[in-house]
Amino acid sequence: GEEIRDVLDRGADWIHVDVMDGHFVPNLTIGPMITKAVRNSAPNAFLDVHLMIERPDDVVQQYRDAGADQIAVHAEAVYHLHRSIQAIKDTGAKAGVALNPHTSESVLDYVLDDLDLVLVMSVNPGFGGQSLIEAVFPKIERLRKEIDRRGLSTLIEVDGGVKTHNAWRFVDAGAHV
């Protein structure tokens, strides 16, 4: 809680929570109980929950109940992407879809209009400290062009490999978060 308050005191208004199940990705991390503790430590922050898990539809309501304002699922982890997006929206949360570095943004062609956020992974999900995969920059640029072409307000978020010396590149490519 102290670290979260410190981040917020320094100007952050979003807290990003990475949830990993040890199956979809090799690491195991935060569950709904810890997410609720994060919410309690940051009652006014926007709580952005990134589900790097198999069968995310089964737990979406639990993370919303724990305080998530926005929930992102991986396109690679669900069978029926539109149904998963609707399940998130049905809870009252904003809906996002995360894409692994190798996944084309074209998987979003039929759901982009329903999204509040696209989360572009710039490293393979599961472990911190990985090297940036440069191929994500053209993907971000293509997403930005398509979002603009459709007149959408969908945000582009980047997760992994973002450092103080390269953050401007993600912004220049079209990312917001």
Which residues pair with residue 28 across a beta bridge? 21
Structure tokens at 38: 């994060």
Catalytic residue among 9, 13, 18, 21: 18
In angstroms, rounded to a whole number, what is the distance separating the alpha carbons of residues 157 and 74?
13
Q: Amino acid identity, residue 82? A: H
In angstroms, rounded to a whole number, what is the distance separating the alpha carbons of residues 34 and 76?
25
Contact 155, 176 (CB under 8 A): yes
Q: What is the DSSP letter of 64?
A: H
Catalytic annotation on 18?
yes
H-run or E-run covering 33: helix 32-41
Residues 6 or more apart whose CB falls under 8 angstroms from that of 87 comprise: 57, 60
Catalytic residue among 21, 48, 116, 159: 159
Question: Which string of DSSP letters, residue by residue, matches 98-142?
Answer: EE-TTS-GGGGTTTGGG-SEEEEESS-TT-SSPPP-TTHHHHHHH
Active site residues: 18, 159
